[in-house]
Amino acid sequence: MHALEAGFSNMLDAEIFAQASQDRRVVVTFDLDFGEIVGAAMRPRSGVILLRLRRARQSYLWDRLRVGIAEAGDALEAGAIVLVEDARIRIRRMGPEA
């Protein structure tokens, strides 16, 4: 669900993340600020996928997103930051087990 569809158009990034965490949703973004928000959180309850892709075609974006979720699904549920790039997926686990 896009932030606009959820009625979050006037919310600050921190508010969007807090709502996603409360709802146990994963935030998918091109905005690196979300990674900083998660990094500052004590015990995040939702993950963040940061997309850093050179190609912007929608079909390519969806393909890379599917790969990222497949490789990092459990980590995302535990509140990880997952960086999805063209050639690799990187996972930064948060919390005490990080």
Condensed to tens digits (0 to 9), the pLDDT of residues 5-55 reads 888 888 887 788 788 888 888 888 887 766 566 555 545 567 889 999 998
| Axis-axis angle for helices 13-23, 33-40 (nearest 10) | 60
Distance, CA of 77 to CA of 22 (rounded, Å): 13
What pLDDT score was predicted for residue 2?
82
pLDDT at 39: 57
List pLDDT tens digits, range 62-94.
999 999 999 999 999 888 889 999 999 999 887
